Structure 1
Amino acid sequence: MRVGVLTGGGDCPGLNAVIRAVTLALRRADDRTEVVGVERGFLGLIEGRFRPLDEAAVRDLLDEGGTVLGTHNRADPFNWQGRDCSEQALAHAKAQRLDALVTIGGDGTLTLAERFARMGVPVLGVPKTIDNDIAQNERSFGFDSAVAVVADALTRLKTTARSHGRVMVVETMGRHAGWIALEGGLAGGADAILIPEQPFALEPLLERLRERVSAQGYALVCVAEGAALADGAPHWQHLPGGVLRLSGVGQALAHELGERLGDIEVRATLLGHLQRGGAPSSFDRVLSTRFGVAAAQAVLDGDYGHTIALQGDRCVRVPLSQVAGRSRCVPPGHELLRCVDALF
């Protein structure tokens, strides 16, 4: 058997640990199994870029950040540079004599995997996202590592905020789901947490911040990039070429707060890709390993058209059709939201 492995979408702590686990589990189940890495995600399928993976190649990947296979977050074989290259991608997979394909990625990657599954390709998904927003999956690897970065940043910024009597605004990733800001904000002791699922009003926020500055001399705000005022829209950043990117709400919010808080200084910090980079946390190393082993077992069972998911602390198999094009947002009344309400 020859099994292809690719990593799609953005980089994420734990990707290499999944590659390692899939490779080792398949090879040790049957040393005749060959594992082939696809370089640069689906772009590698389009262009025919492959390399062999064996025990020596993956042995030291457990704690290494990023992905040794590389990735490309816009390579869509069904619409690449204005053309449908899906048949070309499949021809390259056939030339490599691949019997199965393991795709490790977020919603976009799993959606492409589902399209290939409908074409009869023996494909299996592994969920990856620091945003923790993949449907049917309770915890994604990379999320714990990202939350740790946010919590650490808030802890560090607290000393500056307290020293200068400032309000510090920290912007996290989270376009449509606020899990990073929610858990990172709670772990870092933020005085206000703003997420996309709950549009906020400015006046109650100002009242809260004035109260916290009066009581403790400073305040911390943790805001997800997709958060928006109740009477407004998310903040889009205009990039060259007419590209719009959901970003900049932290700076915009800091400006609005500074205009209204008088002599209280407000500063903003954008964490950006710091949340993606670096080595995975211990939790993410274990979860990535569990996902990789579960994916290898599904391949050995010939159970394709599914993605691995964590449900109730068990790795299960969920049809790709139940995941593709869907997301997992913070639901109303979630326990973490109740914690925020109780504290703030």
Structure 2
Amino acid sequence: MGQESDSAPKIVTGEFGYTLEDVPHLSDYISHLPTYPNPLQDNPAYSAVRQYFVDLDDTVAQKIVVHKDMPRGTHFRRAGPRQRVYFESDDVHACIVTCGGLCPGLNTVIREIVCGLHHMYGVKRVLGINGGYRGFYSKNTIPLTPNTVNDIHKRGGTVLGTSRGGHDTKKIVDSIQDRGINQVYIIGGDGTQKGAAVIFEEIRRRGLKVAVAGIPKTIDNDIPVIDKSFGFDSAVEEAERAITAAHVEATSIENGIGLVKLMGRYSGFIAMYATLASRDVDCCLIPESPFYLEGPGGLFEYIEKRLKENGHMVIVIAEGAGQELLSDSLRSTNQQDASGNKLLQDVGLWISQRIKDHFSKQRKMTINLKYIDPTYMIRAIPSNASDNVYCTLLAQSAVHGAMAGYTGFTVGPVNGRHAYIPFYRINESRNKVVITDRMWARLLSSTNQPSFLSAKDVAEASKREKTPYVLLDNGFVDGKYMNEDVAC
């Protein structure tokens, strides 16, 4: 097997097209590090487990659906406890920081990192950084123990506070070094993980024995490689409640339209899954699927058709959908928030007004539109049962990785198995709904809405996905190779 130098991505190749995209390790840049027996071997909770240490050669395949003549493909190092660790429990001084927007499950991840370090590895010193990356510059820190975090998973938000921006790499690493911190757990979205990658590089440049572990967070589920983001299931569940309310409003009045705006700046996963879960939605609009308002086959024509058929209608729109349709007077410039995200106009309010204007002035048709924006209600809820379990696995996997000396990684499930993923893979792209895939076709079948796609739109979408899709005469899409990740 061959391996590249430490300064480049750690790529290990093997027979039959096997590729391991490995994560950095403290021993890559610090020589003669001692190792210690893993305390788990004496932990009564693990005594009944048949094999509680992960083999060093265990890897997880990125693609699980293959053909018999395909190469073995890309793999990632499997997460889990190792037989030898690179930190003695009494020497560990860990810190946890949460950055970016709120998301269900943040407190659960914090709790399980603290409890995992304490109960599995006997670590007593864990520090919470208050206020996101900016907190590294201040003295506002919170000592974290199993007692202080015992009930925080029942609350929404983050007990550590959060902020956007404030990333001065040198000051952050200075703070880490001055405080004697040797494990850093960073919970945040793509911008936060990019910051974590820069922090790791500075730590490696200084030759510090500090493990940097990322836990990816985005309510939009737009982080690539991993199966899904924590908080996503909770968000979909709460979004469905908003859709139910919109449906009740719409069915209680003549020509009622319930319009619900959901999160989804660049990716429409919440809108798509909440629509599929609800079955009360007549039209779902997401950033990945272009649509138009006027003319044959447009949204206005479809709304009129559904109102005449059913007497009511429910529309779900993701916040990033239709931004190209906003007039120049409404469209924001290239302004960005502190995290570097483009500031979006409220497409929900805009499209509500356009629908009202169209039917009152042009169609002379009475409608009653109710607009619901549950964004901050969804972000602020505690995580549900499935997310609580998921957050526990994420936190424990991160702890196992840091104790084993891995660094510069983020953790997440890949095809159902938790893995350590290099930061650059998380930061190189954004996960989006594939509108030429079967899951989107299921949604169109559920809502019975038009796709609003022309042959040109399909060709462009297929080109972006690098998949040879063909538009058939009946308007359906066929492809030689379909994305099997969501096909069942």
TM-score higher than 0.5 = yes
Deviation at 1:153, TM superposition (A): 0.7
Q: TM-score, normalized by length of structure 1? A: 0.91
Residue 184 (str. 1) matches residue 274 (str. 2)? yes
Specify the code of the residue in structure 2 equivalent to 1:275: I
In 2: Cα distance, 1:130 partner to 1:211 partner: 34
Match of 1:267 in 2: 370
Distance 1:236 1:335, change over 3 A: farther
Q: Pick which of 3-12 and 178-187 moved more.
A: 178-187
Q: Is the 8 A contact 2:435 2:441 kept in 1?
A: no
Q: Deviations over 1:51-101 (max 9, x none)?
A: 221110111122221111111122222xxxxxxxx2222221112211110
Pair 1:253 & 2:342 matched = no
Amino acid at match of 2:307: V
8 Å Cα contact 1:114-1:324 kept in structure 2: no
- Secondary structure at 1:202 match in 2: coil
Q: Is the 8 A contact 2:130 2:141 kept in 1?
A: yes
Deviation at 1:103, TM superposition (A): 0.2
How much does 1:184 deviate? 1.5
Deviations 1:143-183 (A, max 9, x none): 11111221101111211111113112111111111111111
Report the Cα offset of residue 332 of structure 1. 3.0
SS at match of 1:101: strand
Superposed, which structure 2 residues align to 1:194-213 within 5 Å? 194-203=285-294, 204-213=298-307
1:11·1:276 contact (CA, 8 Å) conserved in 2? yes
Q: Which moved more, 1:98-107 or 1:159-168?
A: 159-168
Indicate whether 1:334 and 2:426 are aligned.
no
Q: Could you tell me which runs of 5 or more consecutive residues in structure 2 were left unpaired when the two chains were aligned.
A: 1-91, 205-209, 360-364, 449-488
Cα drift, residue 296 of structure 1: 0.8
Name the residue aligned to 1:63: 154
1:134 equivalenced with 2:223 (yes/no): yes
The aligned length equals: 335
Give distance in 1, aligned partners of 2:392 and 2:289: 34
Mean alpha-carbon deviation: is it higher for 255-264 or for 96-105? 255-264
- Select the structure that is richer in helix: 1
Amino acid at match of 2:236: V
Q: Which residue of 1 aligns with 2:87?
A: none
Question: Which runs of structure 2 are paired with 1:261-340 in the superposition (5 Å)?
Answer: 261=359, 262-340=365-443
Equivalent position amino acid for 1:60 in 2: D
Mapped contact 1:236–1:248 kept (Cα < 8 A): no
Closer/same/farther in 2, CA of residues 236 and 170 from structure 1, 3 Å limit? farther
Q: Deviations over 1:203-252 (max 9, x none)?
A: 4322322222222220000001110177667996769x997731411111
Of 246, 250, 262 in structure 2, the residue corresponding to residue 172 of structure 1 is 262
Distance apart, 1:187 and its partner CA: 2.0
Supply the distance in 1 between the matched residues of 2:329 and 2:394 (Cα, whole angstroms). 35
Q: Determine which structure has greater relative contact order: mean sequence separation of CA pairs < 8 Å that are 6+ residues apart, divided by chain length.
A: 1
Q: Is the 8 A contact 1:199 1:229 kept in 2?
A: no
Structure 2 residue 137 is the aligned partner of structure 1 residue 46: yes
CA distance in 1, matches of 2:193, 2:148: 25
Percentage of pairs with the same residue: 29
- Whether the 8 Å contact between 2:323 and 2:345 is mirrored in structure 1 is no
Contact preservation (8 Å) 1:103, 1:126: yes
Give the residue type in structure 1 aligned to 2:422: P
Distance 1:336 1:275 in 2: 23
Contact 2:242 2:372 in 1 (8 A): no
Query: TM-score, normalization: structure 2?
Result: 0.65
Residue 32 of structure 1 and its aligned partner are, at CA, apart by 4.0
- For 1:147, the aligned partner's letter is V
